[in-house]
């Protein structure tokens, strides 16, 4: 999927992070289609766990800076997403097999429901209040 201007949350750094989620989603879909290597999924899950620590913290700092009123609720969603990611990584480490039936919908929801909906809320807030 190509990145479009309408995906921007109005902050270059956060946009760059979001591009890497879009990219991860594309790669996972391709891997699923081609029955590709489990190694790649293991590396990706580890990268995503590291990624969320940096990205979620940056994003929450940004929301605090602009005084976004939905910060606490948004933070809770981040905590849930991180827990789910760690759970999926734990499952992978246990049996060394990619579980696309869980990973693909998870990343898809992350992109469509979190980045394009929940994250957009702070963008709209910033646009109408700053
Ligand atoms: Fe985000
Ligand atoms: Fe977020």
Give the ligand with the smallest distance to the CA of 118: 2
pLDDT of residue 39: 78
- Tens of pLDDT, residue by residue over 36-87, are 767 788 889 999 999 999 999 999 999 999 999 999 999 999 999 999 999 9
Q: Which two tokens mark 81?
A: 């997403």
Q: How far is the CA of 19 from the centre of ligand 1 (A)?
A: 10
Give the ligand with the smallest distance to the CA of 122: 2
Q: How far is the CA of 75 from the centre of ligand 2 (A)?
A: 8
**Largest distance between two CA atoms of the chain:** 49
Give the ligand with the smallest distance to the CA of 80: 2
Residue 97: pLDDT over 90: no
Give the ligand with the smallest distance to the CA of 60: 2
* 3-state secondary structure (DSSP) of residue 33: helix
Give 33's pLDDT tier (boundaries 50, 70, 90): confident
State the average pLDDT over residues 123-130: 90
CB neighbour class for 18 (10 Å; exposed up to 12, middle 13-18, buried from 19): buried
Q: How far is the CA of 58 from the centre of ligand 1 (A)?
A: 9
Give 31's pLDDT tier (boundaries 50, 70, 90): confident
For domain 10-129, say whether CATH 1.10.287.3510 is its number: no
Q: How far is the CA of 29 from the centre of ligand 2 (A)?
A: 22
The structural domains of the chain, with segments of one domain joined by +, span 10-129
pLDDT of residue 121: 97
Q: How far is the CA of 56 from the centre of ligand 1 (A)?
A: 6
Q: How far is the CA of 114 from the centre of ligand 1 (A)?
A: 7
The number of angstroms, rounded, from the C-alpha of 13 to the middle of its chain's C-alpha atoms is 14
């Amino acid at each position: 999927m190509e990145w479009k201007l309408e995906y921007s949350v109005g902050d270059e750094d956060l946009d760059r992070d979001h591009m890497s989620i879009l990219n991860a989603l594309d790669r996972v879909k391709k891997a699923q289609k081609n029955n590709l290597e489990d190694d790649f999924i293991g590396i990706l899950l580890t990268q995503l766990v590291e990624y969320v620590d940096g990205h979620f913290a940056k994003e929450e700092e940004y929301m605090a800076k602009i005084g976004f009123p939905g910060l606490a609720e948004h933070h809770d969603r981040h905590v849930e997403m991180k827990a789910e990611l760690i759970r999926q990584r734990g499952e992978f480490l246990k049996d060394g097999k990619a579980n696309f039936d869980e990973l693909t919908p998870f990343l898809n929801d992350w992109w469509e429901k979190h980045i394009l909906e929940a994250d957009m809320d702070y963008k709209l807030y910033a646009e109408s209040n700053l």
